[in-house]
């Protein structure tokens, strides 16, 4: 019990320290932090699905796109308040996630991967074809979340978004449903024999994960003020996947570490432009092959090995 | 009265007829053995009853309900628990969490504080109390079989289906295990449907034995009648 | 218009079928879906462009070399990346997806973003059934696709290797018990799967030039064919390919060109809703 309280204080101190960080930074570095926080929302929610239930969605960026475009279109065509738009975007992503999940999850995990990849391609085609509404590759100009544009304010909005996302993930994996998630990932036949409704558990995880991606995307759109097909692109999906895999799939801290690490790194190697996707790809490939639990896994292994010696 | 009844069950895998028009009944409160040579279709029968395999033809009725072709989790919630011959633990989860999965799907309202002690009781009942916080993948084969039983019991079944739980035990351990299973029936009122290769155990524990051979019911009778039967002996000797 | 669309659908459909056969083979035997399948198709297209156009080798020889190289690369990928993940479906999905992105960025660096097209085998056009003029190259592609598919099925039916494949696709454990070396079988099947994608790539590249990111829709189409035909069913996915090719071209002709690929997704949804095991799929045992 004492230890739990200790942990809480550490966490509060860490968040407070992090919240004070942008005051000492310039606009560019504030921007990097905001983008990192966007990726924390994306990776943590993707990890909820892939890391804790063992299903790989290739449509996570697409769901962020659903959130961004839903909110953006409502704001530009109907004049909806962007904050309500973020809610609508989250809801839209949840609905699409639920429908896709019901459609393919009774057939098993591989079907989810195939269908989400297809969904992501189709979304691209629709965005490019419905130029009148989405402005295609030119991008859709949308209003901001706050009247006076301020990086600092956006930083706190994104920090709140990331904390909400992490809190939802934390709550789920530590509740009874989290036991079911892991049981399904470990052995779905055994889980079913013990009374776990495997399809329902998977659909639930997929819906929540997609909804969180929708929220992240909607916030991101209103930060960039320009929504382009880059948000729901496969490159974006790849980045989210690589961050999670490199940080540590199936661990709570892994996606956070991966999101910050890779986003900050990618700012440093931006100068090398075209090589940067390739470099991330190769690193992710090597990590996924030799350290499937990512940096967090390597760290845990290292600590385990040290403990008996100490 | 029969708690579980199968009527004319048949199942094909590709070109192999695994079960042919099998009729059987498991009476409430009884320990019923299911025996037969390798490949007789025993595990296939279990899989169909438990909803792990879609049935070919025929019907399964449990406690008055037709459960043919229902999904496994619904059959479990109706009151049938089974163990797997090749154990299927949730390897990355602790033994306690393994058992907890069974508890929380029956009682979703329970939090960790409530299911923790309950899961511990089931683990202690099968002698795994000391390993509660160990990841299930680190257990040995015999411990994994015990974990299977603890998980199955934690679903609070009416019918417990055991698939070869005695493999690898020595004579004295087999005696203890038989005592444990009879005790489950006597104190918890469980019905037991039991596939076992260790004939001595079935002879001691079961009131009734069903013999399968090449996917058909060869005979049904008391253990004594079964071991004395010519057809059973020749099926086992493979002549 | 109708006849032309049908013929277009047939040509594309045969190539879809060829690509899908590779996916189906690998799914049936290894239970692995290779998300980099489309990139092997594109790579073969680039190879044949490189050998025939840049190095001036005869187009036919260039095609054979291209397919051979992709086959070898497939073996390397299986050995280094796929084999260690065996039994963990999720990791093979993740690894092949990352691999596909790595390939795409390599293509972009080496060949640039613009379409590349290997030389045509033959020129001119033929009048088909007195209805319309049709490019000879496309007719040749159709013929080549039919020949490769026929060869593949002959291999399945007639050779020892084919028998092993069919046995393993039916029941893996049984095959193992009967002494089939499944490790080597996995290796060869994966290589062969990549080679089938490569064959499709070299056949279609003179008609539809390759670009760095064109592999994703190729792979997706193949996946839909496989789901349509029933996971793991070889003949099912050939039919699936033809159906898809025809529907897509009819849709493009009569409904909307921009939404050509969306029809495919609609088919996928319909199949998942009403015949989740596929139109011609064997039922799960």
Nearest alpha carbon to residue B45 among B72, B78, B18, B67: B18
Helix (H) or strand (E) holding B170: none
Q: Which residue of B101, B109, B119, B162 is the best one to mutate when testing the A interface, meaning the one whose CB has the most A CBs within 10 A?
A: B101
Q: Check if the beta carbon of residue A231 is closer than 8 Å to that of residue A151.
A: no
Give the residue ranges of DSSP H helices in A54-108: 60-73, 82-104
Residue A310, pLDDT score? 42
Do B103 and B141 reside in the same domain of the chain? yes
Residue B14, pLDDT score? 66
E strands, chain B, are 2-13, 16-27, 31-35, 57-62, 65-66, 80-82, 159-163, 191-195, 208-213, 216-221
Residue A150 clears pLDDT 50, i.e. is over it:
yes
What does the block give as tokens for A128? 């490019």
Whose structure tokens read 């049709």?
C134
CATH number, domain with residue A165: 1.10.3470
- Please indicate, yes or no, if residue B84 is contained in any of the structural domains: no
Residues of chain B contacting C171 with CB distance shorter than 8 Å: 14
Cβ of B14 within 8 Å of Cβ of C284? The answer is no
Angle, CA B175 vertex, CA B170 and CA B177 arms, to 5° = 90
B72 inside 8 A of chain A by CB: yes
* Cα(C126)–Cα(C139) distance, integer angstroms: 9
* Cα(C6)–Cα(C81) distance, integer angstroms: 40
What are C's interface residues with B at a Cβ cutoff of 8 A? 170-171, 283-285
Cβ of A278 within 8 Å of Cβ of C94? The answer is no
Do B94 and B72 reside in the same domain of the chain? no
Q: Give φ, ψ of C108 to 5 degrees.
A: -60, -40
Q: b vs e for A225-240, b when ≥16 Cβ sit within 10 Å of the residue's Cβ?
A: eebbbebbbbebbbbb
Q: How many C-beta atoms surround the C-beta of residue C136 within 10 A?
A: 15
E strands, chain A, are 140-141, 226-227
Nearest alpha carbon to residue A65 among A244, A219, A238, A218: A218
* Cα(C112)–Cα(C104) distance, integer angstroms: 10
Cβ of A179 within 8 Å of Cβ of B104? The answer is yes
Q: Note down pLDDT in tens along chain B; length 239 residues.
A: 788 888 888 888 766 788 888 899 899 888 998 988 887 888 888 888 998 888 888 889 998 888 888 889 999 999 999 999 888 999 889 999 999 999 998 888 888 888 889 999 999 988 888 988 888 889 888 889 899 999 999 999 999 999 888 887 888 888 888 888 888 888 888 999 999 888 888 888 888 889 888 888 888 888 888 888 888 888 776 64
Do B165 and B183 reside in the same domain of the chain? yes
What does the block give as tokens for A30? 């504030």
Q: Check if the beta carbon of residue A60 is closer than 8 Å to that of residue A113.
A: no
* Cα(B78)–Cα(A183) distance, integer angstroms: 20
- Please indicate, yes or no, if residue B28 is contained in any of the structural domains: yes
Whose structure tokens read 């310039």?
A26
C-alpha pair distances (Å), A117 with each of A57, A90, A236, C220, C229: 8, 20, 13, 8, 19
Q: Check if the beta carbon of residue B41 is closer than 8 Å to that of residue B212.
A: yes
Q: Which of 3.30.870, 2.40.50, 1.10.3470, 3.40.1350 is the CATH number of C2-112+134-274?
A: 1.10.3470
Q: Which residue has the higher pLDDT, B140 or A129?
A: B140
Q: Check if the beta carbon of residue B48 is closer than 8 Å to that of residue B11.
A: yes
Residues of chain A contacting B160 with CB distance shorter than 8 Å: none
Name C111's Cβ contacts closer than 8 Å, sequence gap at least 6: C46, C212
Q: Check if the beta carbon of residue C141 is closer than 8 Å to that of residue C8.
A: no
pLDDT, tens only, A56-72 = 999 999 999 999 999 99
Q: Check if the beta carbon of residue B91 is closer than 8 Å to that of residue B136.
A: yes
Do B15 and B62 reside in the same domain of the chain? yes
Instruction: Give the least confident one: A136-140, A238-242, C57-61, C67-71.
Output: A136-140
What are A's interface residues with B at a Cβ cutoff of 8 A? 176, 179-180, 182-183, 185-187, 189-198
Helices C234-254 and C215-229, interaxial angle, to 10°? 120
- Please indicate, yes or no, if residue B85 is contained in any of the structural domains: no
Nearest alpha carbon to residue B73 among A137, A60, A102, A189: A189
CATH number, domain with residue B200: 3.40.50.300
* Cα(B80)–Cα(A239) distance, integer angstroms: 46
Question: Which of B73, B81, B97 is the closest to A198 by Cβ?
Answer: B73
Question: Which of A110, A128, A292 is the closest to C33 by Cβ?
Answer: A110
Residue A1, pLDDT score? 46
- Please indicate, yes or no, if residue B44 is contained in any of the structural domains: yes
pLDDT, tens only, C239-251 = 888 888 888 888 8
Do B228 and B194 reside in the same domain of the chain? yes
C-alpha pair distances (Å), A236 with each of A168, A228, A239, C114: 23, 12, 5, 22
Name C153's Cβ contacts closer than 8 Å, sequence gap at least 6: C234, C235
Give the residue ranges of DSSP H helices in A175-197: 176-186, 188-193
Residue B17, pLDDT score? 81
Residue A41, pLDDT score? 95
Nearest alpha carbon to residue A176 among A207, A211, A204, A209: A204
Q: Check if the beta carbon of residue C149 is closer than 8 Å to that of residue C21.
A: yes
* Cα(C238)–Cα(C18) distance, integer angstroms: 7
pLDDT, tens only, A67-110 = 999 999 998 888 888 899 899 999 999 999 999 998 888 777 78
Name A15's Cβ contacts closer than 8 Å, sequence gap at least 6: A163
DSSP string, B17-43: EEEEEEEEEEETT-EEEEE-STTSSHH
Q: Which residue of A195, A196, A197 is the best one to mutate when testing the B interface, meaning the one whose CB has the most B CBs within 10 A?
A: A195
Residue C178, pLDDT score? 64
Residue A62, pLDDT score? 94
- Domain's final residue, options B108, B127, B156: B156
Q: What is the mean pLDDT of residues A39-44?
A: 95
Domain that holds residue A195: 2-309
B39 min Cα distance to partner chain C (Å)? 13
Helix (H) or strand (E) holding A116: helix A109-129
B213 inside 8 A of chain A by CB: no
Residue C285, pLDDT score? 31
Nearest alpha carbon to residue C232 among C30, C96, C58, C87: C30
* Cα(C262)–Cα(C115) distance, integer angstroms: 23
Do B224 and B164 reside in the same domain of the chain? yes
A230 inside 8 A of chain C by CB: no
Q: Check if the beta carbon of residue A47 is closer than 8 Å to that of residue A244.
A: yes
Q: Per-residue confidence at A43, pLDDT binned at 50, 70, 90?
A: very high
Name A299's Cβ contacts closer than 8 Å, sequence gap at least 6: none
Name the residue of chain C whose CA is nearest to A123's CA: C262
Q: What is the mean pLDDT of residues A32-49?
A: 94
* Cα(C278)–Cα(C273) distance, integer angstroms: 10
B94 min Cα distance to partner chain A (Å)? 11
Nearest alpha carbon to residue B96 among A73, A143, A182: A182
Number of domains in chain B: 2
Domain that holds residue B7: 2-79+157-237
Residue B154, pLDDT score? 92
C-alpha pair distances (Å), A231 with each of A237, A268, C209, C240: 9, 21, 27, 32
Helix (H) or strand (E) holding A303: helix A294-309
A126 inside 8 A of chain C by CB: yes
- Please indicate, yes or no, if residue B27 is contained in any of the structural domains: yes
Helix (H) or strand (E) holding C46: helix C37-49
C-alpha pair distances (Å), A149 with each of A56, A146, A156, A231: 37, 6, 13, 21
What average pLDDT is seen over chain A?
87
Angle, CA C162 vertex, CA C161 and CA C165 arms, to 5° = 90
Whose structure tokens read 């391609």?
A121
Residue A220 clears pLDDT 90, i.e. is over it:
yes
A184 min Cα distance to partner chain C (Å)? 13
Question: Which of C105, C264, C268 is the closest to A277 by Cβ?
Answer: C105
Q: Which residue has the higher pLDDT, A250 or C258?
A: A250
Q: Check if the beta carbon of residue C219 is closer than 8 Å to that of residue C207.
A: no
Angle, CA B102 vertex, CA B96 and CA B107 arms, to 5° = 110
3-state helix, strand, coil in chain B (%, to 5): 40, 25, 30
- At residue A80, the 3 state secondary structure works out as coil
* Cα(A280)–Cα(A39) distance, integer angstroms: 15
Do B122 and B216 reside in the same domain of the chain? no
Name B58's Cβ contacts closer than 8 Å, sequence gap at least 6: B6, B7, B8, B9, B10, B21, B22, B68
Residue A307, pLDDT score? 64
Number of domains in chain A: 1
- Please indicate, yes or no, if residue B179 is contained in any of the structural domains: yes
* Cα(A195)–Cα(B151) distance, integer angstroms: 11
Residue B205, pLDDT score? 85
Name A36's Cβ contacts closer than 8 Å, sequence gap at least 6: A259, A260, A263, A264
Q: Check if the beta carbon of residue A112 is closer than 8 Å to that of residue A55.
A: yes
Nearest alpha carbon to residue C190 among C64, C30, C20: C30
Q: What are the mean pLDDT values of chain C's consecutive 10-residue runs (285 residues total)?
A: 81 89 87 89 90 82 88 91 80 90 89 80 70 76 86 87 79 65 85 91 85 87 86 83 86 76 81 76 45
ipTM: 0.87
DSSP string, A201-214: HHHHHHHHHHHHHH
Helix (H) or strand (E) holding A142: none
* Cα(A215)–Cα(A207) distance, integer angstroms: 12
* Cα(B41)–Cα(B35) distance, integer angstroms: 10
A114 inside 8 A of chain C by CB: yes
What does the block give as tokens for B110? 């329970």
């Amino acid at each position: 019990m004492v230890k739990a309280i200790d942990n809480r204080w550490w966490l509060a101190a860490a968040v407070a320290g992090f919240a004070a960080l942008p005051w000492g930074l310039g606009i560019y570095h504030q921007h990097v932090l905001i983008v990192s926080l966007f990726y924390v929302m994306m990776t943590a929610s993707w990890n909820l699905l892939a890391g804790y239930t063992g299903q790989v969605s290739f449509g996570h960026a697409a769901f962020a796109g659903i959130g961004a475009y839903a909110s953006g279109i409502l704001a530009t065509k109907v004049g909806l308040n962007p904050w309500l738009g973020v809610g609508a975007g989250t809801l839209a992503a949840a609905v699409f996630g639920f429908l896709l999940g019901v459609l393919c999850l009774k057939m098993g995990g591989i079907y989810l991967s195939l269908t989400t990849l297809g969904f992501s391609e189709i979304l691209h085609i629709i965005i490019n074809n419905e130029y009148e509404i989405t402005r295609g590759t030119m991008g859709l100009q949308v209003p901001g979340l706050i009247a006076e544009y301020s990086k600092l304010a956006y930083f706190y909005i994104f920090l709140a978004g990331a904390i909400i996302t992490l809190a939802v993930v934390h709550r789920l994996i530590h509740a009874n449903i989290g036991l079911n998630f892991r049981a399904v990932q470990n052995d779905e036949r055994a889980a079913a024999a013990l009374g776990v409704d495997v399809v329902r558990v998977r659909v639930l995880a997929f819906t929540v994960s997609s909804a969180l991606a929708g929220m992240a995307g909607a916030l991101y759109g209103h930060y960039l003020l320009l929504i382009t097909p880059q948000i729901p692109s496969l490159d974006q999906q790849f980045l989210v996947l690589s961050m999670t895999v490199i940080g540590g799939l199936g661990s709570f801290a892994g996606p956070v570490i991966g999101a910050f690490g890779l986003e900050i790194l990618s700012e440093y190697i931006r100068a090398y432009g075209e090589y940067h996707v390739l470099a991330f790809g190769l690193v992710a490939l090597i990590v996924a092959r030799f350290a499937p639990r990512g940096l967090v896994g390597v760290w845990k292994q290292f600590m385990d090995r040290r403990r008996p010696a100490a | 009265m029969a708690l579980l009844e199968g009527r004319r069950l048949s199942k094909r895998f590709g070109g192999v007829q695994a079960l042919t028009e099998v009729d059987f009944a498991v009476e409430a409160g009884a320990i019923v053995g299911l025996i037969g040579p390798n490949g007789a279709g025993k595990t296939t029968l279990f899989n169909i009853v438990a909803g792990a395999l879609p049935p070919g033809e025929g019907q399964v009725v449990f406690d008055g309900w037709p459960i043919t072709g229902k999904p496994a989790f619904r059959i479990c919630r109706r009151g049938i628990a089974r163990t797997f011959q090749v154990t299927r633990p949730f390897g990355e989860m602790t033994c306690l969490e393994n058992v907890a999965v069974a508890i929380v799907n029956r009682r979703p309202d329970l939090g960790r504080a409530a299911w923790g002690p309950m899961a511990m009781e089931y683990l202690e009942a099968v002698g795994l109390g000391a390993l509660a916080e160990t990841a299930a993948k680190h257990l040995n084969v015999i411990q994994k079989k015990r974990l299977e039983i603890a998980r199955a019991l934690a679903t609070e079944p009416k019918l417990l289906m055991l698939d070869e739980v005695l493999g690898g035990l020595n004579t004295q351990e087999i005696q203890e295990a038989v005592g444990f299973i009879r005790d489950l029936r006597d104190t918890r009122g469980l019905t037991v449907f039991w596939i076992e290769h260790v004939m001595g155990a079935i002879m001691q524990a079961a009131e009734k034995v069903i013999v399968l051979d090449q996917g058909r019911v060869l005979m049904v009778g008391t253990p004594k009648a079964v071991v004395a039967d010519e057809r059973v002996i020749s099926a086992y000797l493979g002549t | 218009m109708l006849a032309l669309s049908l013929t277009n659908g047939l040509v594309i459909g045969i190539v879809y079928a060829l690509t899908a056969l590779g996916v189906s083979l690998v799914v049936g035997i290894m239970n692995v879906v290779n998300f980099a399948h489309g990139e092997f198709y594109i790579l073969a297209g680039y190879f044949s462009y490189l050998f025939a156009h840049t190095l001036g080798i005869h187009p036919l020889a260039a095609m054979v070399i291209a397919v051979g190289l992709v086959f070898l690369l497939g073996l390397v990928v299986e050995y280094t990346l796929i084999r260690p993940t065996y039994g963990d479906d999720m990791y093979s999905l993740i690894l092949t997806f990352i691999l596909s992105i790595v390939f795409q960025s390599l293509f972009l660096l080496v060949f640039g973003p613009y379409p590349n097209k290997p030389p045509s085998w033959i020129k001119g056009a033929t009048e088909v059934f007195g209805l319309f003029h049709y490019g000879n190259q496309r007719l040749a592609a159709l013929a080549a696709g039919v020949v490769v598919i026929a060869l593949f099925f002959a291999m399945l039916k007639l050779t020892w290797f084919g028998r092993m494949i069919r046995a393993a696709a039916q029941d893996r454990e049984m095959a193992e018990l009967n002494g089939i070396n499944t490790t080597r079988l996995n290796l060869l099947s994966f290589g062969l799967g990549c080679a089938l994608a490569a064959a499709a790539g070299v056949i279609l590249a003179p008609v539809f030039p390759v670009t760095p990111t064109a592999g994703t829709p190729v792979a997706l189409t193949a996946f839909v064919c496989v789901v349509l035909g029933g996971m793991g069913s070889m003949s099912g996915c050939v039919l699936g390919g033809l159906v898809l090719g025809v529907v897509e071209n009819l849709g493009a002709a009569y409904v909307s060109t921009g939404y050509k690929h969306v029809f495919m997704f609609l088919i996928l949804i319909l199949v998942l809703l009403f015949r989740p095991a596929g139109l011609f799929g064997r039922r799960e045992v």
